[in-house]
Amino acid sequence: MLGLVVDQDRDAKPRRGRRGVDTRRKRVVLALQIAILALALFAAPITDCIRDRGRITVTASSSYAPEFDAEMAMDGVLDTEWCLPDNSLGYIEFAFASSRRVNSLDITNGHNTTYKDRAIKKARIVVYNGDKVVEKHELELPGIEQQHKRRRVRLGGHRATRLKIEVLEFAGLGSALSEVAIY
Ligand SMILES: [Ca+2]
């Protein structure tokens, strides 16, 4: 009798253990799936920033204030922005450490949640190889949106040393750019 009880316990314990392991595995898999989804949704700018750090120098015609400098458009953070002074046009330029092909551009427009909201409506993308213009592309954006939205612009794959975004029209109090990634 005692042996039977011990056998039942031996049978039962591993089953409980397996169920526990299976449950933990399911939780780990679910957590990984959520983490991967979160990375896909939110971490792309960070990944871009790490990839381009030290390889691209960002400058601009001017900026609203030091905390809105040109580098804010390529720092991997959506909530930081390059902003031009109120009611003015200008440009931002991305200079490459060495000549490279430029196949596409991901652009996330500005969206400042304070009362000073602003965004780009029209811009011209100009790709240079040295002093020579190798490509121009007109860009139209919806202006101020409720959420940051990343948009891809296909480019010609030319070899280039720098890329400039010239602001032609803005919405709200001026122009702003949250993030740019160049591929
Ligand atoms: Ca940013």
Q: Cα–Cα distance between 136 and 35 in angstroms, integer?
A: 38
Every domain of the chain and the residues it spans: 1-42, 44-182
pLDDT of 9 reads: 44
- pLDDT-based confidence at residue 2 (cuts at 50, 70, 90): very low
| Residues 94 and 182 sit within 8 Å (Cβ to Cβ) | yes
Pairs from 51-58 (Cβ < 8 Å, separation ≥ 24): 52/181, 52/182, 54/97, 55/96, 55/97, 56/94, 56/95, 56/96, 56/97, 56/182, 57/94, 57/95, 57/97, 58/82, 58/92, 58/93, 58/94, 58/95
Percent of the chain surpassing pLDDT 70: 86
Between the CA of 126 and the centroid of ligand 1 the distance, in Å, is 21
The tens digit of pLDDT for each residue in 99-143 reads 999 999 999 999 977 778 899 999 999 999 999 999 999 999 999
Measured in Å, residue 154 CA sits from the centre of ligand 1 at 21
Closest-CA residue to 91 (of 163, 156, 158): 163
Task: Give the model confidence (pLDDT) of 32-44 as tens digits.
Answer: 887 776 666 667 8
Neighbours of 178 (CB within 10 A): 24
Averaged pLDDT score across all residues of the chain: 87
Q: Which amino acid is at 132?
A: K
Least confident piece of the model among 24-33, 69-78, 118-127? 24-33
Residues 89, 83: Cα–Cα separation, whole Å: 10
Which is the CATH superfamily of the domain at 44-182? Galactose-binding domain-like (2.60.120.260)
Instruction: Tell me the CA–centroid distance for residue 114 and ligand 1, in Å.
Output: 16
Distances (CA, A) of 162 to 23, 109, 169: 53, 20, 22
- Rounded CA gap, 85 and 21, in Å? 58
CA of 138 to the centre of ligand 1 (A): 22
User: Rounded to an integer, what distance in angstroms lies between the CA atom of residue 167 and that of residue 149?
Assistant: 18
DSSP class of residue 68?
G
Residue 28 CA to ligand 1 center (angstroms) comes to 32
68 Cα to the center of ligand 1, angstroms: 9
Amino acid letter, 112: N
